[in-house]
Structure 1
Amino acid sequence: MIIFIEISTIILYNKTEVKTMITEKIKTLKKQSKMTAHELSEKSGIPLPTIHKLLSGETRNPKYETLKAVVTALDYQLELAPQQNREQARYSEAEIRMMTLYRQLSTDGQALLYENLAQLLHYEKDRNLKKAAEPLRELPLYLLPASAGIGSYLDSDQYEFRSFSSGTTPVAAKYAVRVSGDSMEPAFYNGDIVFVEPAAHLEEGDVGIIVINSEGYIKQFRDQQFISFNPKYPPILPNEYDAVRIAGRVLSKYN
């Protein structure tokens, strides 16, 4: 089997860094072969002290002939593949880091990484195709959140229009609201967006947007009270002097 080190990498790294990558690969191959340093020295013809310095990293700039002899002793070949296109050597810093880590993996590790990357690429292509095919629907998203804790003013014109996938947006939804607070966890978390259908009243068990004295809440209507899913928050039971208005019924959460 052949270890290819592209000559183009010399453009990206200095020669010492290239040799360091080869040395790291040698360490991996030696571990896989279960050869001792003494056996590697005898088979390669490289003095044992040199082998020890190479494997320990003490030798920062080993001779290419030394590296090639050690690789050959491990039943591999070291070849410098010619650069085909200089433009292809212009990698980003992130790509260089990825290549450096990749070359330190074992053969099995490289194969596993390649398989996972191929699956990820297939997933992203499929997802992008689906996104491109799905029609979008624009709804007003209220910027002032319906509170999942203390109340927040909801009757305002502070909203923006936002596009949502038609496939995930309920047909009856006329607007969306961003939740704040933690009183409706684990069903609704801080920052979640919920789709709302305008409604003047709620049925038992419905989750709705309620305005009490001009403050907006997202709560469940149950037993004539407005309930939080998080047990650390007590139910809200409006009194006769409170101005209560149902702003809408929550249909689903935006995923």
Structure 2
Amino acid sequence: MAFKDRMKEARLKKHLTQEQLSKKIGVAKSTLAGYEGGNREPSMLTVSKIMDALEVDANFLWQDEMENNFPEKVSYDELEIIEKYRLLDNYGKETIGYLLNRELDRQTQINHYHNGADDHSMSNHCNSTSENASDNVIFIDTYTQSASAGTGQYLDDDSFQKLGYPANRVPANTDFAVPVAGDSMEPEYSDGDIVFVERSEDVAFGDIGLFVLNGEGFIKMCDPKGLVSLNPAYSPIKINDDCSFKTIGKILGKL
């Protein structure tokens, strides 16, 4: 891509027409069309106005012409991310850094599987906890759908993705993780929490477990009355012989 293409890319990302941008920088629409067509060259003053209007810098506009200086190309979307990152405080930057490293580790792990580097791991990764080469991150099979801490939510047995979590936050014996939806298990478990589950069909009375009742996933306390919420605003859910009921596992902790 050349200067003309980068300018057009930035204009489209700003959702500006040629006419709108031409008015912002004080040139005729036909002149701007000439810039984007590569038939005309803007003056340095006009270039300055273009950069201000599109919120880009010279490095972005001319990176393709200076490949020796910019071997890695930057798209407009990536440039926006950089600009937002610069506005963050140190805590925000550390948070983004952690997320980037976590996602990079996850993608590396996925590529490792897809490249067939470890056939044994490939055949068993859906049912096991996988530790990354880094001691700081553990990859856990995680439901893409939430289990309800409320009135019930459909839970698909096959809807997993492998996500990385801080190793020191994952309880021993964790088999998988699931997001929480609803407030029926507050104050212990809140909407948006991630809970870690040990797969088991035997959850004792008084323990918190993951259950599937008539196709809907519930995080509840196992009780002789049925599935009981910690939030007193919710009544116990009774289980009878007409129900399709299954115990999935025991909740070990949360993130």
TM-score by length of 2: 0.48
The answer to which structure, 1 or 2, has the higher relative contact order (CA under 8 A, 6+ apart) is: 1
TM-score by length of 1: 0.48
